[in-house]
Amino acid sequence: MTHARPSALFSAFAQPAALTMFLFGFASGLPFLLVGGTLSVWLKDSGISLEDIGLISLAGLAYAFKFVWAPLVDRFRLPLLGRLGQRRSWLLAAQILLAMSLLAMSFITPVGALSSFVLITVVAGFAGATQDVVVDAYRIEIAPAEQQGALAATYTLGYRLALLVSGALALLLADHLPWALIYQLMAAIVGLVLLVTLKAREPERAVSMASTEAFWPALSHSIVGPFQDFFSRYTGGLGLALLIFIGLFKISDQMLGVMALPFYLDCGFSKTEIAAVSKLFGVWIGIAGAFLGGAIVVRWGANKTLLVAMLLGAVSNLLYLLLSQYPANLNVFIAVIGGENLSGGFLGAAAVAWLSSLVNQHYTATQYALFSSLVTLPGKLIGGFSGFMVTDMGYGGFFVFSTVAVIPALILFGWIVPRLPLPEGSATNRHK
C-alpha cells in the first residue's frame, strides 16, 4: 500500500469538488433526521407509543430501497429540467418534492391525522432518498479515485452540519416553538439548498451517460446492466458475500437510531440538554471523526480503515450501558455521546470511500444506490421493531445485542478482502 504524501493529502481536500460535496452533503443530511430521530421526538411529544414510533420509522424505508428507481436517475433526464444536466435536474426535482412534503407534514401533524401524516412522511423519505442517489453519483463522477477519501470527509462534514440543524436546532426550538413551525423552517432551508444545485457544476461523466436508446430498451439495460456488471466483476461466491457484508457492516451503528432519542428522554434529559449534547457537541465530534477517517483513508487505504471503524462503531454502543446505569448524569451523557459520534463519523467516512471503490463508472448511481440501500435496510427493519425489543429485553439488553450484531460482518470481511479484484472500469482503477 502506497502512503499518500502530505501535498497529495492537502490537494485532495483543497480541490473545488470538496466544497461542492460539503454543500451537497448538507443537502443530503437535512431530511434524514426529519423523517427519523427528530420525528421520533415529535411523535413522543404527541403521545405516540414506543411501539408505534418504531413502526412509523419504517416510513423511512425509502432510503433502503432507493436502488429500485436509481436506474432511472442513471439513464434518463427529466423533461422540463433536462437543460440543467443529468444529475442536477434530478437533484432539483427531489429537493422541490422534499420541501413540499415537509410543509405538508407541518400542516397535517401527527395529532391531527396520523395516517395521512405517515403517508406524507413516506413521500418526504422518498424525496430525501432520491436526493441521496443523485449526490452519491455526483461525488463519484466529479473527481478521480484518489480524491474520494477527501470528498467523503467533506461530504460527511456537510452531512453532519445538516444533522446539527435538523437535530440540535430543531430540538432546541421544540422547547419554545410548535413542531409544525419548526418543520416549516426546515422546508425553507431546503428552499435555500436549491440555490446550491442551480450553481453547481454538472459532472462531465453524467453528460456522457445520457441515453439515446428508446425508452423500454434503455430501461431494461439500466436495470439489468448494473447487476450483470457487478456479478461479472465479483464472480463466484464473492459477489453474494459482498452484498451480505454491505448489509451487515453498519448494523450496530444503525440499530440505535430510532430508540436513541426516546432513551435520552427516559433518562431524564430535557430536549434542550439532548440538543446541546447529542446534536451540537455530538455533531462536532462526529465531524472530527469523519475528517480523521477521511485522512486515514487517503493515507492508508479503505480496507484497513473500514476494519478499525467497524470495531469502534460496534464497541461504542456499549457506552450506552454506562448511561443506563447513571441516568440524568450530564457528564456521563457527554462522554457517551462523544465516543459514539467520534466512532460514527470515522465509520461514515471509511464506508463512503470503501463503497465508492466498488462502483463501475458506467452505473454510478444504480450501483452505489444498491450498496447504500443494503447498508440501510437491515438497520431500518430492526429499527422498526426496536420499540418491541426494548420493551421485551430492556435498554441494556438491546445495547448488548446491537454490539454483538457486528460479528458476522467481521467474519465476512476477513474472507472478502483477500479475494477482492481491482475491477476494470471501477472508480478505484479509473485513474491508475
The pLDDT assigned to 426 comes to 44
The pLDDT assigned to 416 comes to 92
Please give the average per-residue pLDDT across 6-33, as a whole number.
73
Please give the average per-residue pLDDT across 127-151, as a whole number.
79
Query: Tens digit of pLDDT for each residue in 284-295?
Result: 888 888 888 888
Query: Tens digit of pLDDT for each residue in 361-413?
Result: 677 767 777 787 778 777 767 766 777 888 888 888 888 888 888 899 999 99
CA distances for 421 relative to 234, 238, 303, 358, 372, angstroms: 8, 10, 13, 10, 21
Decide which of 247 and 223 is more confident. Answer: 247
| Domains contained in the chain, number | 1
What average pLDDT does the chain have?
80
Using the predicted structure, report yes or no on whether residue 422 has a pLDDT greater than 60.
no
Q: Which of 62-66, 238-242, 286-290, 410-414 has the lowest mean pLDDT?
A: 62-66
Q: Which of 99-108, 267-276, 287-296, 360-369 has the lowest mean pLDDT?
A: 360-369
Region class of 394: left (phi > 0), else alpha (psi between -120 and 50), else beta = left
Is 430 inside a domain boundary? no
Is 425 inside a domain boundary? no
Strand ranges (E), 234-322 = none
Is 146 inside a domain boundary? yes
Please give the average per-residue pLDDT across 424-430, as a whole number.
43
The pLDDT assigned to 369 comes to 74
Report the DSSP beta bridge partners of residue 426: 360
pTM: 0.66
Give Cα 53 to chain centroid, integer Å: 20
Pair 150, 18: CB distance under 8 Å: yes
Using the predicted structure, report yes or no on whether residue 66 has a pLDDT greater than 70.
yes
Is 32 inside a domain boundary? yes
The pLDDT assigned to 425 comes to 41
Closest listed residue to residue 344, CA positions, set 295, 296, 290, 412: 290
Using the predicted structure, report yes or no on whether residue 354 has a pLDDT greater than 80.
yes
Using the predicted structure, report yes or no on whether residue 334 has a pLDDT greater than 90.
yes
Domain assignment of residue 139, given as a range:
6-419
The pLDDT assigned to 412 comes to 93
Dist. CA 87–CA 95, nearest whole Å: 12
Which value, in Å, is the radius of gyration of the alpha carbons in the chain? 21
Q: Provide the CATH number for the domain around residue 208.
A: 1.20.1250.20
Using the predicted structure, report yes or no on whether residue 160 has a pLDDT greater than 90.
no
The pLDDT assigned to 145 comes to 63
Please give the average per-residue pLDDT across 193-218, as a whole number.
66
| Residues constituting the chain | 432
Closest listed residue to residue 376, CA positions, set 273, 257, 296: 257
Decide which of 83 and 282 is more confident. Answer: 282
Closest listed residue to residue 305, CA positions, set 266, 343, 261, 251: 343
Sequence letter at residue 119? L
DSSP state of 28: H
Is 429 inside a domain boundary? no
Other beta carbons within 10 angstroms of residue 190's beta carbon come to 25
Is 182 inside a domain boundary? yes
**Three-state DSSP state, 360:** strand
Closest listed residue to residue 99, CA positions, set 202, 197, 30, 199: 30
The pLDDT assigned to 176 comes to 87
The three grid cell numbers given for residue 362, joined into one nine-digit string: 458506467
Closest listed residue to residue 402, CA positions, set 242, 259, 266: 259
- Cell 467516512 locates to 349
Is 62 inside a domain boundary? yes
The pLDDT assigned to 2 comes to 44
Is 1 inside a domain boundary? no
pLDDT over 90 for what percent of the chain?
A: 14
- What values do phi and psi take at 3, rounded to 5? -85, 140
Q: What is the dihedral of CA 94, 100, 106, 112, to 10 degrees?
A: -100
Q: Which of 147-151, 212-216, 269-273 has the lowest mean pLDDT?
A: 212-216
The pLDDT assigned to 410 comes to 93
The pLDDT assigned to 1 comes to 43
Dist. CA 287–CA 186, nearest whole Å: 21
- The sign of the dihedral angle between the CA atoms of 250, 255, 261, 264 is negative
Alpha-helix runs per DSSP H in 143-210 = 148-163, 170-174, 179-199, 204-208
Using the predicted structure, report yes or no on whether residue 324 has a pLDDT greater than 70.
yes
The pLDDT assigned to 98 comes to 94
Using the predicted structure, report yes or no on whether residue 99 has a pLDDT greater than 90.
yes
